[in-house]
């Protein structure tokens, strides 16, 4: 028994909340490990951070939101239930409700998290206004003191093996990372009957003074206001400090880190200096994609920039030609 309810609406809300939490526990999370000697892993680790940094510094336009709405309408064509929510988002969305929309069981959460998992550059580019709004709300409501947090996760056994072999390594969570202050609630995400997946409990110490990426108690901002949920910003970095097995549950102990805490600091600084500070444009974004080896995708954004340029902008055109486009 998880609760006793005399109010029908409270019961419905709790069932919806439990179902949504179960989905999150089953949903894979995208983790990049900073390898000790594998340059490919280190490159992935750094580029995942630079990609997010540059993406969120490209100014959004109303046309981006319109294009995202159009894409989502196409994806859910024939599904009137989801299309109704897409139309609602189009008419009623405002930046101060970003977390409310993200935590709602709707197309936004599904499409954004899938785009993050499969690195769908086109969709993430259109989603950047929403991600920036989420970041701003997390910043405005960030935790002010150290906290102990938990997350229950069903994980593919090969991925679990990588984490178990990564003690003292740094990992980047390349999605928004939902946690709970309640260990019992986090354990409720696990399914002991599953033979194909391992049960994982992340046990996290997070100090808001050591990180540049925010995390916040979103209880009052969430669609499900009965949950004590702490949400970490996309791209948060943790260090694995210990792994143990307790009654078929793998306990992975982690601490939250900042860019200054790990031995890739010099590489981060070099790449950030290379891409510069301040607001970014499509040229910067294309360059990041090219650095990641995604040349076809980079070309799309170079061409998109050329289409937007007035004819008297030879300097940027020459820079694009220099990239091989």
CATH code, 169: 3.90.176.10
Look at the chain and report how many structural domains it folds into.
2
Same domain? 205 vs 64: yes
- The confidence score (pLDDT) of residue 1 equals 46
Domain containing 307 equals: 281-322
Same domain? 304 vs 255: no
Same domain? 109 vs 47: yes
Task: Report CA-CA distances (Å) from 54 to 114, 215, 273, 280, 285.
Answer: 20, 20, 12, 6, 6
Distance from C-alpha of 23 to C-alpha of 255, rounded to nearest angstrom: 25
Taking alpha carbons only, the member of 164, 146, 163 closest to residue 204 is: 146
- The confidence score (pLDDT) of residue 48 equals 85
Cβ–Cβ < 8 Å for 127, 181: no
Taking alpha carbons only, the member of 104, 234, 115 closest to residue 174 is: 234
Same domain? 246 vs 108: yes
Distance from C-alpha of 251 to C-alpha of 41, rounded to nearest angstrom: 24
Q: Please, which residues have CB within 8 angstroms of residue 189's CB and are 6 or more apart in sequence?
A: 21, 22, 24, 25, 26, 151, 152, 153, 154
Beta bridge partners of 147: 206
Same domain? 153 vs 287: no
92 belongs to a structural domain: yes
203 belongs to a structural domain: yes
276 belongs to a structural domain: no
DSSP 274-325: HH-SS-B-HHHHHHHHHHTT-HHHHHHHHHHHHHHS-TT-HHHHHHHHHTT-
| Portion of the chain with pLDDT greater than 90, in percent | 61
Same domain? 61 vs 109: yes
Beta bridge partners of 280: 58
274 belongs to a structural domain: no
Same domain? 104 vs 195: yes
Q: Please, which residues have CB within 8 angstroms of residue 30's CB and are 6 or more apart in sequence?
A: 116, 117, 173, 174, 175
Q: Please, which residues have CB within 8 angstroms of residue 107's CB and are 6 or more apart in sequence?
A: 72, 75, 76, 82, 85, 86, 89
Same domain? 211 vs 311: no
Which phi and psi (to 5°) does residue 305 adopt?
A: -65, -45
1 belongs to a structural domain: no
Cβ–Cβ < 8 Å for 213, 233: yes
Same domain? 246 vs 303: no
Strands (E), 69-211: 147-156, 170-173, 177-180, 197-206
116 belongs to a structural domain: yes
Instruction: Give me the sheet containing 31-33, strands edge to edge.
Output: 31-33, 170-173, 236-246, 249-257, 197-206, 147-156, 177-180, 229-232, 215-217
Question: CB count, 10 Å around CB of 138?
Answer: 24
- The confidence score (pLDDT) of residue 198 equals 95
114 belongs to a structural domain: yes
Same domain? 185 vs 256: yes
Same domain? 141 vs 192: yes
Task: Output the tens digit of pLDDT for each of the chain's 325 residues.
Answer: 444 556 555 555 545 545 554 445 457 777 888 764 334 446 777 888 889 999 999 999 999 999 999 999 999 999 999 999 999 999 999 999 999 999 998 999 999 999 999 999 999 999 999 999 999 999 999 999 999 999 999 999 999 999 999 999 889 899 999 999 999 999 999 999 888 899 999 999 999 988 789 999 999 999 987 778 999 999 999 999 999 999 999 999 999 987 677 566 776 777 667 777 788 989 999 999 998 899 999 999 999 888 887 766 666 656 565 555 5
229 belongs to a structural domain: yes
Same domain? 286 vs 251: no
């Amino acid at each position: 028994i998880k609760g006793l309810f005399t109010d029908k609406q409270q019961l419905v809300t709790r069932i919806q909340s439990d179902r949504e939490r179960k989905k999150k526990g089953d949903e894979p999370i995208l983790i990049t490990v900073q390898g000790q000697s594998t340059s490919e892993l280190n490159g992935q680790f750094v580029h995942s951070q630079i990609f997010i940094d540059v993406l969120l510094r490209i100014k959004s336009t109303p046309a981006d939101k319109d294009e995202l709405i159009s894409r989502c309408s196409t994806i859910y064509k024939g599904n009137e239930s989801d299309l109704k929510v897409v139309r609602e988002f189009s008419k009623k969305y405002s930046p101060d409700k970003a977390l409310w929309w993200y935590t709602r069981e709707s197309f936004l959460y599904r499409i954004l998290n899938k785009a993050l998992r499969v690195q769908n550059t086109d969709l993430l580019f259109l989603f950047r206004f929403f991600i920036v709004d989420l970041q701003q709300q997390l910043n405005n409501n960030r935790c002010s003191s150290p906290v102990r947090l938990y997350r229950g996760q069903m994980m593919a056994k090969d991925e679990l093996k990588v984490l178990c072999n990564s003690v003292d390594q740094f990992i980047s969570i390349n999605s928004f990372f939902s946690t709970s202050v309640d260990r019992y609630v986090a354990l409720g995400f696990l399914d002991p009957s599953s033979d194909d997946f391992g049960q994982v409990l992340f046990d996290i110490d997070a100090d808001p003074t050591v990180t540049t990426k925010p995390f916040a108690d979103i209880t009052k901002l969430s669609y499900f206001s009965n949950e004590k949920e702490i949400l970490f910003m996309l791209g948060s970095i943790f260090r694995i400090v210990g792994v143990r097995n307790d009654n078929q549950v793998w306990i992975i102990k982690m601490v939250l880190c900042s860019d200054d805490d790990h031995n890739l600091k010099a590489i981060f600084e070099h790449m950030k200096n290379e891409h510069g500070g301040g607001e970014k444009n499509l040229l910067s974004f294309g360059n990041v994609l090219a650095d990641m080896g995604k040349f076809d995708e980079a070309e799309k954004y170079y061409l998109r920039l050329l289409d937007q340029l007035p004819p008297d902008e030879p300097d940027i055109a020459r820079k694009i030609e220099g990239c091989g486009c």
